[in-house]
């Protein structure tokens, strides 16, 4: 009985032995326990034998059969990888101790200004994690500052920061404010070979990664930072593939996101795979275990959630997450105020027509099962649900005007967010010079101008923004009032929008969060759906135990159909 090296697509080692029933039974048990990709019976090489990939299985077999002969080269691999595992375990213990700290003597070298205590702990965590981690602090706590401090403290010569396009220039400002490093912002017209190789920080947005990929792959970076890492949630997306290619050759990979999961655990796998590809290499194993993954008549479905507490325990070593309520106790409390709204007559009529149309559509096509038809129906359902949401939002413009006028008449400022552009444009046109607006149509160069005017000009009392287009990279602490015209599809969009005012620099005694809710409409169902999604994130990321997640589309459709039963 001997273990030898055997290189193949899935395996590195082979177990050769004379047939014995107990050995066969033991090998079948290993296959069942670890899966066929990690331990399987190979007949392709002409010699029938058991093959496997994990070096620790050598010690498992040795423990069961002490007399097994082990090829010297195999034994060297086992000892080397055991040492790596021991070092990783030691580091994991150290990281966990750091995460439990409330105070630290850790000194950050080379940074300008004074970091808060929890931010120094964040840098210490990144150092102990060898720069491969997810900084998941709540929005407004200074994740960008901590990552820059880690880069400076580590003495890196060149680092790449990848962010949404809307916050590239905010990163440039942070680099200038906190460091003495040189930086460059890359756009679609930039010729990378003309960039001075001595530039320390290269700032690029996700959507042009693929354009600059050949040159970026040729450039040596010590660290790559993925800001708002939920942009990488889809592994098949071009930007995700490009980021993964670049990250493969970089030792330090840091992800920043206050909401690393938008909807479901499936969105987390790609980040884990980039950080630790040896541990998180099998998507289907992950999906079956943690995403309630299963084969359906329409294909493999990994849209659910399962064993969230187990997933939390497995990933906690990669994460550092602090809530503002724990580390920024000087910030004012949020006061949530639900404002009941009755749609005006015209909006109510339009809403009823759209709702009846959706119900008739769902009843007509509910029995179709073909895979392609199902995909088409899902897109169609979403479109029709969004029509309901849009009609509902437009029907609240009148009450929004009254609420805004009451706030600004009292001499206060207010930020107003919506999912759809029409209510924002109509309100901006109504209040004219008293307001500024940022939507998906706002040129990148005009975003900061709008923010600066709102923050610094007393006569500019209102900020209008889209949940998607104005939820990151801006600070609106001049206001202490927030109005949500409707509900977005994810808790992160809502939380990030609110956190434009609830962040460092906010001096109000309390913040008023007004949410306009039209009774007996899709608003009720959106509210329930967001609560369920937030619960999933809380359990996976923060470890809070909650009930099992329900499919988003099913939640909304069931709400629409409820009144027709």
Average of per-residue pLDDT across 31-38: 80
Average of per-residue pLDDT across 281-304: 86
Of 77, 533, 91, whose CA–CA distance to 276 is shortest? 91
Whether residue 550 has pLDDT greater than 70: no
Distance between CA atoms of 39 and 27, rounded to whole angstroms? 8
Per DSSP, 565 falls in state: -
Determine contact, residues 546/309, Cβ cutoff 8 Å. no
Helix (H, G, I), strand (E, B) or coil at 312: helix
Of 438, 460, 451, whose CA–CA distance to 501 is shortest? 451
Distance between CA atoms of 543 and 321, rounded to whole angstroms? 11
Per the model's pLDDT, the better-predicted residue between 262 and 149 turns out to be: 149
Helices (H) and strands (E) in the chain, counts: 20, 20
Token pair listed for 395: 């029907």
Whether residue 27 has pLDDT greater than 60: yes
Residue 551's pLDDT band (cuts 50, 70, 90): low
Poorest-pLDDT segment among 180-184, 379-383, 392-396, 561-565: 561-565
Distance between CA atoms of 397 and 521, rounded to whole angstroms? 16
Other Cβ atoms within 10 Å of 356 Cβ, number: 11
Of 100, 52, 55, whose CA–CA distance to 77 is shortest? 55
Distance between CA atoms of 425 and 41, rounded to whole angstroms? 65
Strands (E), 17-119: 39-42, 49-52, 69-70
Average of per-residue pLDDT across 50-54: 88
Per the model's pLDDT, the better-predicted residue between 365 and 153 turns out to be: 153
Distance between CA atoms of 131 and 254, rounded to whole angstroms? 6
Residue 537's pLDDT band (cuts 50, 70, 90): confident
pTM of the full structure? 0.73
Average pLDDT of the chain? 87
pLDDT for 548: 46
Please count the residues of the chain: 565
DSSP track, 550-563: --HHHHHHHHHHHT
Distance between CA atoms of 98 and 126, rounded to whole angstroms? 10
Quick one: which H or E segment has residue 335? Answer: strand 334-341
Alpha carbon separation from 300 to 214, 294, 297, 328, 419 (Å, rounded): 34, 6, 8, 43, 31
Q: What share of the chain is helix, strand, coil (3-state, %, to 5)?
A: 50, 15, 35
Determine contact, residues 522/560, Cβ cutoff 8 Å. yes
Query: How confident is the model over 164-176, as pLDDT tens digits?
Result: 988 888 899 899 9
Alpha helices in 100-181 (DSSP H): 117-128, 143-154, 168-178
Query: How confident is the model over 96-117, as pLDDT tens digits?
Result: 999 999 899 999 999 998 999 9
pLDDT for 382: 77
Distance between CA atoms of 390 and 522, rounded to whole angstroms? 10
Whether residue 561 has pLDDT greater than 60: no
Rounded to the nearest angstrom, the gap between the alpha carbon of residue 231 and the centroid of all alpha carbons in its chain is 7
Token pair listed for 115: 């970091």
Other Cβ atoms within 10 Å of 110 Cβ, number: 14
Distance between CA atoms of 412 and 7, rounded to whole angstroms? 69
pLDDT for 543: 61
pLDDT for 491: 85
Whether residue 71 has pLDDT greater than 80: yes
Give the contacts of 437 (CB within 8 A, at least 6 positions apart): 424, 425, 428, 450, 463, 464, 465
Poorest-pLDDT segment among 69-78, 259-268, 365-374: 365-374
Token pair listed for 356: 């009846």
Determine contact, residues 121/80, Cβ cutoff 8 Å. no
Residue 85's pLDDT band (cuts 50, 70, 90): confident
Per the model's pLDDT, the better-predicted residue between 101 and 263 turns out to be: 101
Quick one: which H or E segment has residue 10? Answer: none
Place of tokens 């309100």: 427
């Amino acid at each position: 009985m001997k273990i030898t090296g055997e290189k193949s697509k899935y395996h590195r080692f082979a177990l050769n032995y004379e047939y014995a029933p107990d050995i066969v039974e033991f090998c079948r048990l290993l296959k069942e326990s670890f899966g066929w990709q990690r331990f399987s019976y190979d007949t392709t090489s002409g010699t029938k034998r058991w093959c496997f990939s994990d070096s620790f299985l050598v010690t498992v077999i040795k423990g069961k059969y002490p007399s097994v002969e082990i090829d010297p080269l195999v034994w060297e691999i086992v000892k080397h990888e055991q040492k790596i595992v021991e070092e990783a375990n030691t580091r994991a213990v150290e990281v966990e101790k750091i995460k439990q700290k409330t105070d630290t003597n850790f000194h950050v070298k080379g940074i300008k200004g004074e970091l808060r205590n929890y931010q120094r702990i964040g840098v210490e965590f990144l150092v102990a994690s060898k720069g491969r981690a997810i900084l998941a602090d709540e929005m407004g706590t200074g994740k960008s500052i901590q990552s820059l401090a880690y880069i400076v403290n580590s003495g890196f010569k060149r680092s790449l920061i990848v962010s949404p396009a809307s916050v590239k220039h905010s990163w440039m400002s942070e680099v200038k404010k906190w460091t003495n490093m040189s930086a460059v912002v890359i756009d679609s017209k930039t010729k990378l070979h003309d960039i001075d190789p001595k530039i320390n920080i290269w700032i690029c947005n996700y959507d042009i990664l693929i354009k600059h990929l050949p040159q970026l792959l040729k450039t040596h970076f010590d660290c790559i930072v993925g800001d708002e890492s939920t942009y990488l949630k889809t592994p098949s997306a071009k930007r995700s593939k490009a980021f993964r290619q670049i990250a493969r050759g970089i030792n330090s990979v840091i992800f920043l996101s206050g909401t690393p999961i938008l909807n479901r655990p499936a969105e987390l796998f790609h980040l884990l795979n980039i950080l630790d590809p040896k541990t998180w290499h099998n998507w289907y194993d992950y999906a079956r275990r943690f995403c309630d993954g299963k084969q359906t008549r329409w294909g493999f479905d990994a849209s659910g959630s399962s064993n969230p507490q187990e997933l939390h325990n497995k990933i906690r070593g990669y994460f550092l997450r602090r809530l503002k309520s724990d580390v920024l106790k000087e910030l004012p409390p949020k006061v949530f105020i639900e404002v009941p709204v009755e749609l005006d007559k015209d909006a109510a009529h339009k809403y009823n027509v759209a709702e009846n149309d959706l119900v008739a559509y769902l009843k007509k096509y509910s029995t179709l099962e073909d895979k392609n038809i199902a995909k088409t129906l899902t897109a169609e359902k979403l479109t029709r649900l969004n029509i309901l949401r849009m009609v509902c939002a437009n029907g609240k413009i009148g009450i929004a005007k009254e609420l805004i006028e009451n706030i600004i008449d009292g001499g206060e400022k207010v930020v107003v967010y919506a999912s759809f552009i029409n209510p924002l444009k109509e309100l901006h046109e109504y209040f004219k010079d008293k307001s500024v607006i940022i939507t998906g149509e706002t040129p990148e160069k005009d975003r900061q101008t709008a923010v600066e005017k709102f923050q610094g000009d007393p006569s500019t009392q209102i900020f209008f923004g889209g949940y998607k287009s104005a939820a990151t990279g801006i600070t609106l602490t001049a206001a202490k009032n927030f109005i949500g015209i409707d509900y977005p599809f994810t808790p992160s969009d809502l939380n990030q929008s609110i956190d434009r005012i609830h962040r460092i620099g906010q001096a109000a005694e309390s913040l008023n969060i007004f949410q306009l809710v039209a009774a007996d409409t899709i608003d009720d169902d959106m509210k329930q759906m967001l609560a369920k999604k937030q619960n999933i994130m809380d359990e996976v990321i923060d470890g809070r135990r909650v009930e099992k997640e329900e499919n988003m589309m099913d939640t909304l459709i069931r709400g629409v159909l409820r009144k027709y039963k």
